[in-house]
Structure 1
């Protein structure tokens, strides 16, 4: 079977992907979507609150209202406090996004046992901060960048770029090439493995914004070159910069562990 050519991620793509992450990342959003999917199709605030005993009903009501504003749930009676919520079409197609986040996290970030939806929310918390996606895109294209150069490309004050890089380093997405002061930053294995996550997010966002979906299947695209260990500065000087985001020949993706793979049909998205 022939493989279609891939398309690099642009700055606009990165901004739209980051905006999609911000819609999905607020705490409890993934759990609420899962709860309505599993116990719906329609649920009142009190019905949802029963599944979150640690949260007050008023807090659950506020979270549902915010989730509605973000286009993930809807209700027929906008001003009827008793009207039930149901999942939007956007929420009903989140399965590929949640699967990609779950596998990326379990493979590269946190291998400790934890609930699938806690894992998804933790992963999104790492990725949704301003300029994180664009920083990953730039490092994928350039191979490595010093702080001052990256700040220029982000049109950002150096102190803001430094704060973002420090956070991304703590989250395991970037690393310094060596221990010298001013050493350039480059992507870690986890940062390089974000291709399927970004692809799933782009396809989901395009599907529900009316934009044309990418031609290349998610399973056929990853970031830059295949994942590898952080290289030394000498190796960086010897090696060419990795190709643009999603623009290299595809590599097979690892099978999802049995404990992570959701079932088929709509329940595949959330599990039972």
Structure 2
């Protein structure tokens, strides 16, 4: 086995987490957090724990199946915790973890940007469509 220099090892370490590479784990995480349901749920949970039914009401248009799958994915990635309280009916609450809270300012900024710039985007789309 050839001996590698410190600089070669540094380059290898940088390349290991280069999101432009298809196999990069960071790219997989970017795929997850760029999902529309993930971003909406992260924002919906910003004010504290919510029940499944609350999230279903807050995030309009999400099906039960997609809400369940997205919350499971977020839990698996360490973005939310799921707390089950035995009662009749069973109560299930979701809350952001430390990782989820760290991501929150970015997601809030993206949501805010989208809400404040949607008119400009609509105008750009109309201009583009008129030219095409």
TM-score (norm 1): 0.30
Q: How far apart, CA to CA, are the structure 2 residues paired with 1:58 and 1:16?
A: 26
- 2:128 matched residue in structure 1: none
Of 113, 116, 131 in structure 1, the residue corresponding to residue 117 of structure 2 is 113
**Aligned counterparts, 1:150-169, within 5 A:** none
The corresponding residue for 1:87 is: 96
Structure 1 portions without partners, runs of 5+ = 1-6, 116-272
Task: Please state which structure has a larger fraction of its residues in helix.
Answer: 2
Q: Cα RMSD (Å) of the superposition?
A: 3.6
CA distance 1:47–1:114, shift in 2 (3 Å): same
Spell out, residue by residue over 1:17-44, the C-alpha distance to the aligned partner (whole angstroms, 9 max, x if none): 3133133123310100000113xx1111
**SS state of the match for residue 100, structure 2?**
helix
**Does 1:12 find its partner at 2:19?**
no
More strand by share: 2
- Ranges of 4+ aligned residues in structure 1 off by more than 6 Å: none
In structure 2, C-alpha distance between the alignment counterparts of 1:70 and 1:99, rounded to whole Å: 19
1:117-136 equivalences in 2 (<5 Å): none
- How far apart, in 2, do the equivalents of 1:79 and 1:23 lie? 30
TM-score (structure 2 length as normaliser):
0.57
Q: 1:96 to 1:11 in 2, by over 3 A?
A: farther
Judged with a 3 Å threshold, the aligned counterparts in structure 2 of structure 1 residues 31 and 16 are, in CA distance, closer, same or farther, namely same
Q: Call closer, same or farther: CA 1:99–1:42 in 2, change over 3 Å.
A: closer
Which residue pairs with 1:36 in the alignment?
45
3-state SS of 1:75 partner:
strand
| Structure 2 CA distance for partners of 1:17 and 1:113, relative to 1, 3 Å | same
Query: How many angstroms apart in 1 are the aligned matches of 2:85 and 2:70?
Result: 15
